[in-house]
Structure 1
């Protein structure tokens, strides 16, 4: 079901329930008011009849019922029935000989038990019974009648409420449709704008409206997502462009060398020289491929993590770095350790990936600096462990510093050194997958400091 239809249905049911509840409230209290009003009228008529009868002709000793006034003088209520019982429960007056007394006599016990007034019905008639006279020897008065005017008013009220609710239902549906349509117009506008956005037009944005309501928050969130997608697409285009170039070059050179050797090399030394050149090109191709695989592995790390000692990872990375760069001095220093930690330098993650990340930082520092490299392991705060790798090398220009994390991108002043421009991208990916960050600070000609920060084991 469409949201529009759901809103109309729920709005209609809610307002209709309120309307019916209000109608029932009005009808109930009107019926109660009719009953109370007619009860007072019956009671007043019974009291007036008792006063007239008891003053004019009380019951004689034989218990005969005397009527010294005309009954027609009292018949002012439709189908009026009035009965008076003496304190000894003898019937001493009845407004008509046809008035049944079975129901009245059944209510005598309730009045004898001290009930001030009882209401009951005798067929279609409303009836009331109560005591009258001295407290010690009270009379029992019963009055019944048909409230023709009251029931007619209730019937009219029912008709009015029925017609009103039917008409209100139509208005409620129309109002629900209107409000649903008005409420969903911003969403329809957002949908219309989103349909115009394609992979080639990710720079377009959705109108954020007033910037405060829920629709605006949705548009803001969608624009933020579009910004992330645009950056991801740009990074992908850059990656594909660089990767195709970096892979094509060694392949083309290796193929040309082998084709030249096949066509022109006549001696074994010439063939060996050509094969050596081709092997170097293929070795470069394998290095680029391994870097791309490492980047993919860093981006696909699962959610399972284990406690890892970052100092052990750093030790392994230093050993591997010195094997790559014999004679290069890599100095390791340790900062202060917070007292409340049970296991120092413990993080949650993958030991192999973290070792790779640290090795990449050390390898870059050794490649671009002839001086010693310093690795400092410590804590940025009690919840964050960090490794800062500092060199005194060529540094990175500000224009290149913002792009060095792009895969296969290399700064202008570092292209003469061997490498493929993948190490920092891999390291940043690993840091992000571990909930950490990688920050570079560099000055051209003065050196670079790469700081890897990771959250400690919680």
Structure 2
């Protein structure tokens, strides 16, 4: 059963249940009103009979009936009897309805009673007067109320069925409207394949559960896209990057073996082979790092990582490698709330990302130091790594995070072109951003930012 139909049924059942309770309550209220009204009519008859009985010691039955017909509406099967202290009837009526001594004594005891006796409703009232104590009992059959309640039940049943049908179709219409974004999402999801993971589902500007679902789904797509790109990068570029230095090495070896050469030439060939071997080693190391990141990418266990502590760990490592003060840490005033300094991330992967940025800065900044500026506020955490190199042109800055891209085409600076690509993927995994700030002439800054989510 589709959600639309299920929601329509739920809406109909809940609304119909509420309507049924209202109709039942209305039925009971009307029934209680009719019953009380009928008892009030019988009470009026006892009051009228008492007034007539007080004015005359004896009153003919015809006279009492005549007065009742003149002032009161005739009730079906109406019976009125007045009993004196000896439980003797004061009027002679043309019917065979009498009340027992127990009923008459109960009226004297309670002062007033009302009850049902078969189809009849009975009212008894006790009167005290200087002429003597007497009891008046009146009864009749409430035919009109019964007929009205039957009509009311028929009307209520018809309304219940009619409104049940209306509520079902109204609920289906509202469910259709409420779930129309889901239909759109389903259509868009059907078009997403492994070849176009860059596509995203549009969820509108609402802030409901559907928008939250769309955001989470898009986040999942982003992770899948990055994972696929990492795998495709490894497969597509590993063979090329490994083949190039191997081909160069094999060529140099073949040249060296083709004929005898002097010492200088052999030294040159060996130096060339050593250079290509070092490049091959660096490429293999980078590819293994890429494979490791790819492995951890979808399995990264997140925890709260304090970025300031991670920065000092990096400073300690690079001080040991480059010397004290070569990685110059510039800290902005830190907030008192330690939670502001943390983000949900995988510490080892984040360490690799920031370390790659610093390593890249040192390659272009030697022998000058590298600056790392750290700032944390309630809304964001910012890390800026600045070198004193020749700068990066706008054209190269737009491509610097592509796999195996190297800004220095003359290979004057060693590198495989994978480090910054890995860095961008890791930072993106943890919902951060990375950008380059450079005038293209002197110095470059890699700025990493993590925006803090606002609690609702």
* TM-score category of the 2 structures, normalised to the smaller one: 0.7 to 0.9
Q: CA deviation at 1:152?
A: 1.6
Q: CA deviation at 1:3?
A: 0.6
Q: CA deviation at 1:125?
A: 1.0
Q: 1:318 maps to which residue?
A: 319
Are 2:437 and 1:441 equivalent residues in the alignment?
Answer: yes
Judge conservation of contact 2:393–2:440 (CA < 8 Å) in 1: yes
Q: 1:187 maps to which residue?
A: 182
In structure 2, the CA distance between the partners of 1:196 and 1:310, relative to structure 1 (3 Å rule), is closer
2:393 to 393, 397, 400: 397
Q: CA deviation at 1:142?
A: 1.8
Q: 1:325 maps to which residue?
A: none
Q: Give the Cα–Cα distance (whole angstroms) in 1 for the partners of residues 361 and 45 of structure 2.
A: 113
Q: Give the Cα–Cα distance (whole angstroms) in 1 for the partners of residues 270 and 423 of structure 2.
A: 34
Secondary structure of the structure 2 residue equivalent to 1:392: coil
Q: CA deviation at 1:146?
A: 0.5
Q: 1:423 maps to which residue?
A: 419
Q: Give the Cα–Cα distance (whole angstroms) in 1 for the partners of residues 312 and 166 of structure 2.
A: 74
Judge conservation of contact 1:81–1:99 (CA < 8 Å) in 2: no
- The number of residues matched between the two structures is 435
Query: What is the root-mean-square deviation of aligned Cα atoms in Å?
Result: 4.7
Judge conservation of contact 1:320–1:359 (CA < 8 Å) in 2: no
**What pairs up with 1:126-145 in 2 under 5 angstroms?**
126-132=121-127, 134=129, 139-145=134-140
Secondary structure of the structure 2 residue equivalent to 1:93: coil
Structure 1: give runs of 5+ residues left out of the alignment: 59-65, 323-327
Q: Give the Cα–Cα distance (whole angstroms) in 1 for the partners of residues 200 and 10 of structure 2.
A: 33
In structure 2, the CA distance between the partners of 1:5 and 1:318, relative to structure 1 (3 Å rule), is same
In structure 2, the CA distance between the partners of 1:332 and 1:225, relative to structure 1 (3 Å rule), is closer
Q: Give the Cα–Cα distance (whole angstroms) in 2 for the partners of residues 263 and 137 of structure 1.
A: 150
Tell me the alpha carbon deviations over residues 66-101 of structure 1, each in whole angstroms, 9 at most, x when there is no partner. Answer: 866478756943232323244x47344364443232
Q: CA deviation at 1:394?
A: 1.6
Q: CA deviation at 1:297?
A: 4.5
Q: Give the Cα–Cα distance (whole angstroms) in 2 for the partners of residues 273 and 245 of structure 1.
A: 25
Q: 2:110 maps to which residue?
A: 111
Q: 1:44 maps to which residue?
A: 44
Q: CA deviation at 1:395?
A: 1.0
Q: CA deviation at 1:150?
A: 1.7
Tell me the alpha carbon deviations over residues 5-24 of structure 1, each in whole angstroms, 9 at most, x when there is no partner. Answer: 21121121122123212322
Q: CA deviation at 1:398?
A: 1.4
Structure 2: give runs of 5+ residues left out of the alignment: none
Judge conservation of contact 1:46–1:142 (CA < 8 Å) in 2: yes
Q: Give the Cα–Cα distance (whole angstroms) in 2 for the partners of residues 222 and 143 of structure 1.
A: 77
Most deviating of 30-39 and 331-340: 331-340
Tell me the alpha carbon deviations over residues 318-351 of structure 1, each in whole angstroms, 9 at most, x when there is no partner. Answer: 32246xxxxx993636556659599xx9999888
Secondary structure of the structure 1 residue equivalent to 2:416: coil
Judge conservation of contact 1:313–1:351 (CA < 8 Å) in 2: no
Most deviating of 298-307 and 119-128: 298-307
In structure 2, the CA distance between the partners of 1:190 and 1:366, relative to structure 1 (3 Å rule), is closer
Q: Give the Cα–Cα distance (whole angstroms) in 2 for the partners of residues 227 and 445 of structure 1.
A: 38
2:153 to 146, 154, 158: 158
Tell me the alpha carbon deviations over residues 210-267 of structure 1, each in whole angstroms, 9 at most, x when there is no partner. Answer: x558598479748965984797489555665444432332344445556x37984789
Q: Give the Cα–Cα distance (whole angstroms) in 2 for the partners of residues 194 and 444 of structure 1.
A: 42
Are 2:406 and 1:410 equivalent residues in the alignment?
Answer: yes
Judge conservation of contact 1:357–1:426 (CA < 8 Å) in 2: yes
Q: 1:81 maps to which residue?
A: 79
Q: TM-score, normalized by length of structure 2?
A: 0.74
Judge conservation of contact 1:314–1:355 (CA < 8 Å) in 2: no
Q: 1:364 maps to which residue?
A: 360
Q: CA deviation at 1:108?
A: 1.9
In structure 2, the CA distance between the partners of 1:191 and 1:373, relative to structure 1 (3 Å rule), is same
Q: 1:63 maps to which residue?
A: none
Secondary structure of the structure 2 residue equivalent to 1:79: strand
Q: Give the Cα–Cα distance (whole angstroms) in 2 for the partners of residues 182 and 378 of structure 1.
A: 49
**What pairs up with 1:248-397 in 2 under 5 angstroms?**
248-254=243-249, 260=254, 264=258, 280-297=275-292, 300=296, 301-304=300-303, 308=309, 310-321=311-322, 330=326, 332=328, 335=331, 338=334, 359-376=355-372, 379=375, 388-397=384-393
Q: CA deviation at 1:367?
A: 2.4
Q: 1:26 maps to which residue?
A: 26
Tell me the alpha carbon deviations over residues 129-148 of structure 1, each in whole angstroms, 9 at most, x when there is no partner. Answer: 23446599664322111011
In structure 2, the CA distance between the partners of 1:203 and 1:293, relative to structure 1 (3 Å rule), is closer
In structure 2, the CA distance between the partners of 1:232 and 1:141, relative to structure 1 (3 Å rule), is same
In structure 2, the CA distance between the partners of 1:319 and 1:350, relative to structure 1 (3 Å rule), is farther
In structure 2, the CA distance between the partners of 1:133 and 1:370, relative to structure 1 (3 Å rule), is same
Q: TM-score, normalized by length of structure 1?
A: 0.74
Q: Give the Cα–Cα distance (whole angstroms) in 2 for the partners of residues 130 and 204 of structure 1.
A: 87
Q: 1:176 maps to which residue?
A: 171
Q: Give the Cα–Cα distance (whole angstroms) in 1 for the partners of residues 208 and 450 of structure 2.
A: 35
Q: CA deviation at 1:359?
A: 4.7
Q: Give the Cα–Cα distance (whole angstroms) in 2 for the partners of residues 192 and 382 of structure 1.
A: 39
Secondary structure of the structure 1 residue equivalent to 2:90: strand
